[in-house]
């Protein structure tokens, strides 16, 4: 059993899973240690079955082990996280959940209820609680707080959807209208609460099931992650005035334009994966780590990123290159075995979102063809001529049977006719595959 510091409960957290414990709670821990924040977290279990009971068994404290490449060398860091003061299970006691509205010290709501968690269901009613969506549960909590005349919350959702805060706010207002909570309540939601859109970036690998890690004490809630972390928060309000994470030397960015950071992540990190993986699998390479060890493949994907993707983005070049450096350090992480076959799932749709915009923007800006990114396009087509892809059956059949011209001119796949690239793509495909 861990002994903990008693702290003022300031944060309601929807979710007790690996990610929030290895990301948000770690951030709160470091902020507490570096400042006078002194914040405790109350965890709400958003689904009926979860891990709150296991957390309570060890006084809601656990160990986070962060592993990866740091300053060019393999590194392992360990941190005991003790910021969670208690847990609440709405499916066992919904009134106990609603009682959270009564505490005037609560200021932040953090959540990670999966990509499908922020949703509106017109069949939900207050009488069905707790068997309603996450936004419906939040609406009921806010309505209780409104009736008590207390301040609103700052919402920091971590769900991996675009405009997560904006979407959550819309769902709450839709429920307020559906349930006739009144215009005054809706005005209070809009004026007295802050809904931030956020972007999170950290690989959290969870409990080390197949490893024997000797901590010197028993911990059944050990969490593992990579060392890298990034939290981009979109807000006109300076969140750090109330949540002083700036004192903890953390990679947290507060901005009024999150989309450029989302674009950076999608184009550089995800784009590197997608431009590299079909080529790597054609070469018989099985993991991202092996790609980084392969001189030819490593040089290829770095050329894609530094020479052809970064010049198409609008953030400062130094910042973009620094982010790319971190990405390649993460790719080399010896503690994470990232299979190429897993990343290759649905590669056509991923290429459209992650790589094609860089190709088109490079042509627009430079008035020339991006050699390496077009090579990755050619390798994608070659890849789909094999039996290795894992994609929609219709897409795989078309890609395997169609000519290069037919593939490039398919607007359904790419959103536009790309037949102007035919000569360039053919030049990069082996003669026997044309």
Can you spell out the DSSP letters for 100-163?
GGG-TT--EEEE---TTTS---TT--GGGTTSS-HHHHHHHHHHHHHHTT----EEEE--SSTT
Tell me if 43 is assigned to some domain. yes
On whether both 345 and 364 belong to a single domain, the answer is: yes
Question: 123 in a domain, yes or no?
Answer: yes
Q: Looking at the structure, do residues 278 and 220 belong to the same domain, yes or no?
A: no
> Among the three residues 224, 255, 286, which one is the final residue of a domain in this structure?
255
- Together in a domain, 298 and 407: yes
pLDDT category, 432, cuts 50, 70, 90? very low
Q: How many domains does the chain have?
A: 2
Any domain includes 1: no
Task: Identify whether residues 141 and 187 lie together within a single domain.
Answer: yes
H or E stretch including 224? strand 223-225
Contact in structure between 394 and 406 (CB atoms under 8 Å) = no
Distance CA 382, CA 400 (A): 9
State the pLDDT at residue 296.
Answer: 97
- The CATH number that applies at residue 270 is 1.10.1040.10
Enumerate the H helices of 251-346 as residue ranges: 259-264, 271-282, 288-293, 295-302, 317-331, 340-343
Q: Please determine, for residue 214, whether its predicted confidence score (pLDDT) is greater than 70.
A: yes
Residues 237, 281: one domain? no
Q: What is the pLDDT of residue 433?
A: 44
Task: Tell me the pLDDT tens digit for each residue of 186-208.
Answer: 999 999 999 999 999 999 988 88
Helix, strand, coil tally for the chain in percent (to 5): 50, 15, 35
Whether 205 and 122 map to the same domain: the answer is: yes
Show the tokens assigned to 233. Answer: 């928060």
Strand order in the sheet with 8-14: 84-88, 39-44, 8-14, 108-111, 154-157, 194-195
pLDDT for res 1: 53
Decide if 2 is inside a domain: no
Within 10 A of 84 (CB to CB), how many other CB atoms are there? 27
Confidence at residue 187, expressed as pLDDT on a 0 to 100 scale: 98
Q: Is residue 224 scored above 90 in pLDDT?
A: yes
Residues 264 and 213 in one domain: no
Residue 293 forms part of a structural domain: yes
The whole-angstrom separation of Cα 424 and Cα 360 is 13
Whether 339 and 209 share a structural domain: no
Domain enclosing residue 96, as ranges: 8-255
386 with 249, same domain? no
pLDDT of 160 reads 85
Domain limit, last residue, from 255, 272, 288: 255
Question: Which H, E and C letters describe 27-49, residue by residue?
Answer: HHHHHHHHCCCCEEEEEECCCCC
Residue 213 — very low, low, confident or very high, per pLDDT cuts 50/70/90? confident
144 or 2, which is more confident: 144
pLDDT tens digits along 279-302: 999 999 999 999 999 999 999 999
CB 274 within 8 A of CB 304: no
Residue with tokens 């990123």: 305
Condensed to tens digits (0 to 9), the pLDDT of residues 310-361 reads 999 999 999 999 999 999 999 999 998 889 998 999 999 999 999 999 999 9
Residue 126 confidence class, pLDDT cut points 50, 70, 90: very high
Output the pLDDT for position 431. Answer: 42
Angle between helix 183-192 and helix 134-147 axes, rounded to 10 deg: 100
Read off the pLDDT of residues 75-94 as tens digits, 9 standing for 90 and up.
Answer: 999 999 999 999 999 999 99
User: Is there a domain that residue 3 lies in?
Assistant: no
Is 310 in the same domain as 400? yes
Would 208 be classed as within a structural domain?
yes
Specify whether 235 is located in the same domain as 291: no
CATH of the domain at 226: 3.40.50.720
pLDDT at site 208: 86
* Average pLDDT score over residue span 3-29: 95
State which H helix or E strand residue 212 sits in.
none
Average pLDDT, the chain: 94
Residues 307 and 411 in one domain: yes
Tell me what pLDDT residue 295 has: 97
Taking Cα atoms as reference points, which of 416, 426, 431, 309 lies closest to residue 378?
426
| Whole-number Å distance between alpha carbons of 260 and 313 | 8
pLDDT at residue number 2 = 67
Of 233, 255, 277, the one marking the end of a domain is 255
Q: DSSP per residue over 282-306, as a string?
A: HTT--BHHHHHHSHHHHHHHHIIII
Q: Which residues pair with 86 in a beta bridge?
A: 42
Q: pLDDT digits over 138-189, tens only?
A: 999 999 999 999 999 999 999 988 899 999 999 999 999 999 999 999 999 9
Cβ-based neighbours of 429, under 8 Å, separated by 6 or more: 378, 381, 382, 404
Is position 163 within any domain? yes
> What is the pLDDT confidence band of residue 430, given thresholds at 50, 70 and 90?
low
């Amino acid at each position: 059993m861990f002994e903990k510091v008693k702290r003022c409960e300031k944060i309601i957290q929807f979710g007790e899973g690996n990610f929030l414990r290895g990301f948000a709670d770690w951030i709160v821990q470091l902020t507490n240690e570096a400042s006078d924040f002194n914040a405790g977290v109350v965890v709400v279990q958003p689904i009926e079955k979860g891990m709150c009971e296991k957390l309570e068994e060890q006084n809601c404290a656990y160990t986070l082990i962060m592993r990866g490449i740091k300053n060019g060398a393999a590194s392992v860091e360990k941190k005991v996280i003790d910021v969670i003061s208690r847990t609440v299970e709405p499916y066992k006691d919904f009134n106990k959940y609603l009682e959270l509205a009564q505490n005037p010290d609560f200021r932040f709501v953090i959540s990670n209820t999966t990509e499908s968690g922020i949703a509106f269901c017109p069949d939900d009613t207050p009488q069905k609680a707790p068997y309603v969506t996450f936004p419906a549960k939040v609406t009921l909590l806010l309505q209780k707080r409104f009736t008590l005349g207390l301040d609103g919350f700052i919402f920091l959702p971590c769900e991996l959807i675009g405009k997560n805060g904006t979407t959550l706010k819309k769902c709450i207002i839709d429920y307020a209208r559906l349930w006739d909570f009144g215009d005054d309540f809706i005005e209070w939601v809009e004026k007295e609460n802050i809904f931030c859109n956020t972007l999170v970036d950290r690989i959290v690998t969870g409990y080390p099931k197949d490893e024997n890690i000797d901590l010197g004490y028993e911990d059944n809630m050990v969490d593992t992650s990579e060392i890298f972390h990034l939290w981009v928060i979109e807000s006109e309000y300076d969140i750090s005035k109330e949540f002083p994470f700036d004192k903890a030397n953390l990679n947290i960015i507060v901005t009024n334009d999150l989309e450029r950071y989302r674009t950076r992540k999608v184009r550089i990190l995800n784009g590197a994966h997608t431009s590299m993986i079909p080529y790597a699998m054609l070469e018989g390479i099985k993991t991202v780590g092996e790609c980084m060890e392969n001189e030819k493949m490593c040089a290829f994907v770095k050329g894609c990123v530094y020479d052809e993707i970064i010049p198409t983005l609008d953030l400062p070049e130094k910042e973009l290159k620094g982010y790319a450096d971190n990405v390649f350090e993460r790719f080399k992480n010896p503690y994470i075995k990232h299979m190429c076959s897993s990343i290759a799932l649905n590669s056509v749709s991923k290429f459209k979102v992650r790589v094609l915009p860089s190709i088109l923007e490079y042509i627009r800006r430079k008035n020339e063809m991006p050699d390496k990114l077009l090579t990755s396009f050619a390798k994608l087509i070659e890849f789909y001529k094999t039996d290795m892809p894992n994609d929609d059956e219709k897409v795989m059949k078309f890609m395997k049977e169609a000519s290069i011209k037919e593939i490039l001119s398919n607007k359904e796949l790419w959103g536009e006719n790309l037949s102007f690239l035919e000569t360039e793509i053919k030049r990069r495909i082996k003669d026997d595959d044309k």
